[in-house]
Amino acid sequence: MSAQHPLEGTLDDVRVLDLTQNLPGPYATLLLAAMGATVLKVEPPRGETARGVPSLFGLVNRGKQSVVLDLKQDAGREALLKLAEECDVLVEGFRPGVIEGLGLSPDVLLARNPRLVICRISGFGQVGPYAQHPAHDLNLQALTGVCHLSRDRSGHPLGSALPIADLSAGGTAATAILAALRKRDRTGAGLVLDVALSDTVQSWAHVWDQGLTPPTPRADQAVTRAFARLTEHPSRLAQQGAALIGRPERARTVGNALDRAAESLRKSAPVQGLERLKLHALPHYGTYETRDGRWLAVGIVDENKFWRALCDALELPHLGKLPVAARVLLGNVVRRQLARAFQRLTLAEWMERLPRHEVPVTPVLDVREATVDAHLLTRLGPDADAPVVPYSLAGRLSAAPELNAHEPGALTRPVPTP
């Protein structure tokens, strides 16, 4: 029999509600489960999206239990609140504001369980100019300087094939939860954690960059200001323009042919979700050069709404009709079309236009530009010149509301005897 791992059973008395999907949150709760925590995975009626990628889902959800709750229904919300009363930790990965819209805000949860540790994981955190902006791993690598550090010999910025934003944020979240539990056990009060993927990746980039690269020119303030200035006006579709191939009147015929090719591909080599699809095979998951020699990162995976919105913004409406499989089959053609379109404007001009369409596109910044970016400055505060630690316990942890604070002893769980 193999020797027991030194951390096995460490969290045997900890119960975790996991409302997250895909990779960052599930990886965080996987680490907790590996140390003995009981993790109850709360999924929507159709299951979480990563179930479409069985290998990934199986890896990061080992040792967990699953329950289906429809949080859009009163019965589902009440069931979750009852579970929260019996748990130590709740982890959620919704876009900021979604959980509040469901009637499950931290105040509501803490009113039901004042000792609850709530960990909120999101791309850009709960506060800051980009809090509502969609992003995938590549966007966060670009914004925090990672792509700039990974340039090839021609100066082309590159993203990591490893989803470092997702995984590093998962580790950060697990660490923060452990520290919060320690403090909760001392004070009797729950805590709310704000874990941003952008924070963690920037801390990694800063560690690597510090002292390894020479000083760079003053950050392009126009780029960061334009990207941060998210318009309050409704999105406006760009005017219909160029077709996928020379003559727009042929677009329908070409589209139908591509649909048939895509269907043939599915039948000959079934693809469930992105099971056999590498991210870097997607023409809309990569970096593109703009008219002024700067770069931006497009981080669209399989979300058709983002793809159509991007094509509208680029005035390439016929490309927006292509299914994912067809985009991969015609990868080189699509890349050329996108590259040509992005050459029409400067980076600052694109960062003025694209946020109106709500697509996951970010500028490729170097590490020093990232340290003066409006959003990252908001997140890091006075320590922005040395963002080595992605979160501060003093600055990012908030005590629970005072509701029932006069009775913390009644909820204290005794430490189990060995």
Query: Annotated active-site positions, please?
Result: 166
- Kindly give the interhelix angle for 197-209 and 164-187, rounded to the nearest 10 degrees: 110
d(CA 197, CA 207): 16
d(CA 284, CA 254): 20
| Nearest residue to 151 (alpha-carbon basis) of 223, 225, 216, 196 | 216
Radius of gyration of the chain (CA): 23
Supply the DSSP symbol for 316.
-
Per-residue burial over 79-111, b = 16 or more CB atoms within 10 Å of its CB, e = otherwise = bbbebbeebbbbbbbbebeebeebebebeebbe
d(CA 18, CA 28): 10
8 Å CB contact between 157 and 150: yes
SS3 label, residue 191: strand
d(CA 292, CA 342): 10
8 Å CB contact between 115 and 188: yes
8 Å CB contact between 236 and 312: no
Bridge partners of 298? Answer: 286, 361
CA dist 308 to 1, 41, 156, 322, 357, Å? 56, 32, 26, 9, 10
Instruction: Specify the amino acid at residue 7.
Output: L
CA dist 368 to 68, 119, 132, 373, Å? 45, 29, 24, 9
8 Å CB contact between 120 and 194: yes
| Nearest residue to 120 (alpha-carbon basis) of 195, 216, 16 | 195
